[in-house]
Structure 1
Amino acid sequence: MRHILTIALILTLAACGGRPRETTQSTASHTATPQRANFGDAHPQDFGSVAPQDHRIHGIDVSKFQTAVDWQTAQANGVSFAFIKATEGGDQADPMFDQHWNGAARAGIPRGAYHFFYHCRPAIEQARWFIAHVPRTRGALPPVLDMEWTPTSPTCRIRNSPEHIRSEAQIFIRALQSHYGQRPIVYTAIDFFEDNQMWKIQGADFWLRSVAAHPSDLYAGQHWTFWQYSGTGQVPGIIGKVDLNAFAGNARDWSAWLAASQH
């Protein structure tokens, strides 16, 4: 009950100012036929019988580390979607978020925001922080919860129990779904997924990291919507390396998923 009341308080605050306003800005090319991905990779992998190239729809995820992005060029070379880091924990905001968010929109690239979870802070505080920085934008992709272990963190290396982690994930997911009206996405890697039995999470799509095997091989039986297949991608229009991702279906599936998932 305390969690429900807290979420209700967040939504009340969001309507009273101090929060990003809902905007009608939307991307322009949601119905356009996606371009074939013209991507390279600094460290290409052999994925076996099913490779990333066997998937039709590709995109990227970016943060402050991608300081120079020509979004029009990236779109022309096959970037069909982008996930953009917005926040981390309960007190950090990515300094490149606004620039990436607006640049992707101008290029007609569907984009969504993601939050990097901090295991030493309550999920409801982190949901409040994300909501404070990411506007409800018509046409945006669903919000993303990025949950991973943080063994190199200077301030938080705690490993909570699987039950606690899944409970916190559900609190965060419910808060975002209530605010944005969209089914959130959970991003994770195989160690975290298995250690915490993340397949038990309800009410979210999955975005899975697998840089040397197809998700069907590494996450046997797990349904997924997005696959992060490289952290060393090379995309025209982007200086330096960037994460590469694929959507699970074909162009028709992509159009249907967009229509069903966007705000």
Structure 2
Amino acid sequence: MTSILHGVDVHARYQAGWPQKTIPGVDFVITKATGGTSLVIDGWKSMLAGAKRTGVYHYARERGRAGTAAQEAANFIRQAALAPSDALLVLDWEEASGNNLGNADWVLEWMRLVEAALGRRPVFYTYRATLLAHPSLRRVQQAGYPLWYARYPYSAPVGWKSYEQPTDVPYWGRPAIWQYSSAGGVPGWDAALDLNIFYGGPSDWAALTASTNRDTTSEGESLVARTPAQAVDWAQSMIGKRQYAGMCERFVRTAYGYPAAYRTAMLAYEASKKAGTIHMDTTPPVGVPVFWRLQGVPAGHVALSIGGGRAISTSGEDGSSGIQVIRIANYQPRHSTYLGWAEVYHGQRVYTAAAAAATAATAAATTKTGRHRWYTGRIDGHFGPETVKALQRALAREKRYTRAVDGSFGTETSKSWQGWLRDQKTYTHAVDGSFGVESWKAVQRSMKARNLYSRMIDGQAGTYTITAVQHWLAGNY
């Protein structure tokens, strides 16, 4: 058998006075710190006192306190930041957590947010039955998160065991940790304990809890340096996607095409502050990084300005996840503090007066008349993918569209446009994504109000109507 470590997971409420220093054979202690959006276990830190190796876990969707992954991650991060810097971080995902145990998106968002904030890769805890019932949880394994596996081969109380590592665990094959008893009995403690085996020695445990400050480039990320205007174009193409949840610094530096240098937004901010001027206004120029400090989240936050007091961010004004357009002055999750925008980012000057003027003239930016140039293609009356992409970017700026800029005129794009047309007082029907005659009549009315369309309001998406739309998206009015 390979090296193993024995450990327990304890709860300050049920194992009060846990004297682990006097109990032989305890190589690690893991304790519950938080649950749901607001539960904090009184005395959890005392359960780790004197332990050789430590860990803290969060009980997902605690009854009566269930919330979004971002809300629950914030609760855990605030407490886990007080644990030893090499403590194992764990998400406890089990039956009492709620009925939707197959919600891999929730799990992955929580894991990524915690990893980004604390710099260590969390471990996923669950039961065999949960894994078998929910194949979607395979995605947690595919994302590279280790498993703490709960399965009890015997119902009778047992002591320390040296079981061989299981090889038939769904999706993972082998777990990092196996909880083999919930009724364990060990010398020196007269009540039941959860007993666990970690498969590896001290150096393997250290590797499991090591910092993930690598921030390596992911597949598909370009390291070709971009101008601020090009960075904005790339960021706009990512609107609606979720792959950078909890990784704002990676998102912004990838937009610029810069290699990894700083693990967190706060580290990047401090470097930018030392290297150049920080401005505190909330209407930064196009293509500069914008920073916030977040209460209880040491990593902070960074977004990319697109002008007009707006930025593209990996989280919303209320903390919701997904790449989206935010209003800088309204970004309020986790009691954020605005830190300003920087002229220098990753050692590169991204703002000068001349560069800002060039960016404003060339990036999907503002024309001489103060209008936005989202469409730069040929005015040909064809409602193709490039025209639709321009429409999606324009609607994203108005916070109407939050999905991917993919050039597909589907339901979400249609609903977004209908909502915008209703704002313009040209559309009074249902915002249902069915873009028919009444919707196109509203488009024609909006274009006519801008002196771009002079034909009959007939609701036909013909060449004249689409040409007007292209002129509108190009700022030619």
**When the two structures are superposed, what TM-score results if normalisation uses the length of structure 2?**
0.38
1:257: how far off? 3.4
- Within-5 A mapping of 1:132-151: 132-135=78-81, 137-150=83-96
**When the two structures are superposed, what TM-score results if normalisation uses the length of structure 1?**
0.66
Alpha-carbon displacement from aligned partner over 1:115-143 (angstroms, at most 9, x marks no partner): 01017421110000111222255553331
Among 58, 61, 86, the alignment partner of 1:115 is: 58
2:154 maps to 1:207: no
* Structure 2 residue aligned with 1:92: 39
Looking at structure 2, the residues matched to 192 and 113 of structure 1 have their Cα atoms a distance apart, in angstroms, of 21
Alpha-carbon displacement from aligned partner over 1:30-56 (angstroms, at most 9, x marks no partner): xxxxxxxxxxxxxxxxxxxx9xxx863
Looking at structure 1, the residues matched to 69 and 171 of structure 2 have their Cα atoms a distance apart, in angstroms, of 28
SS in 1 for 2:114: helix
* Structure 2 residue aligned with 1:57: 5
2:167 maps to 1:216: yes
1:179: how far off? 1.1
1:194: how far off? 1.7
1:225: how far off? 0.3
Looking at structure 1, the residues matched to 188 and 19 of structure 2 have their Cα atoms a distance apart, in angstroms, of 5
- Within-5 A mapping of 1:1-263: 56-63=4-11, 64-74=13-23, 77-101=24-48, 103=49, 106=50, 108-118=51-61, 120-135=66-81, 137-150=83-96, 158-160=98-100, 162=102, 165-197=103-135, 198-201=137-140, 202-212=143-153, 215-217=166-168, 219=170, 222-249=173-200, 251=201, 254-259=202-207, 261-263=209-211
1:233: how far off? 0.9
1:219: how far off? 3.8
The answer as to whether partners of 2:138 and 2:171 remain within 8 angstroms in 1 is: no
RMSD over aligned Cα atoms: 2.4
Amino-acid identity (%): 26
SS in 2 for 1:121: coil
The answer as to whether partners of 1:85 and 1:113 remain within 8 angstroms in 2 is: yes
* Structure 2 residue aligned with 1:39: none
Query: Which amino acid in the other structure matches residue 59 of structure 2?
Result: F
> Residues 88 and 137 (structure 1 numbering): CA distance in 2 closer, same or farther, change over 3 Å?
closer
The answer as to whether partners of 2:45 and 2:83 remain within 8 angstroms in 1 is: no
SS in 2 for 1:109: coil
Equivalent pairs counted in the alignment come to 194
The answer as to whether partners of 2:127 and 2:150 remain within 8 angstroms in 1 is: yes
Looking at structure 1, the residues matched to 171 and 101 of structure 2 have their Cα atoms a distance apart, in angstroms, of 23
The answer as to whether partners of 1:177 and 1:183 remain within 8 angstroms in 2 is: yes
Structure with the bigger RCO (C-alpha within 8 Å, sep 6+) is 1
The answer as to whether partners of 1:62 and 1:83 remain within 8 angstroms in 2 is: yes
Gaps of 5+ in 2: 155-164, 212-477
The answer as to whether partners of 1:124 and 1:172 remain within 8 angstroms in 2 is: yes
Gaps of 5+ in 1: 1-49, 151-155
Alpha-carbon displacement from aligned partner over 1:180-237 (angstroms, at most 9, x marks no partner): 1111100000121122222221131100001118632454762310000000111234
The answer as to whether partners of 1:207 and 1:224 remain within 8 angstroms in 2 is: yes
Query: Which amino acid in the other structure matches residue 186 of structure 1?
Result: F
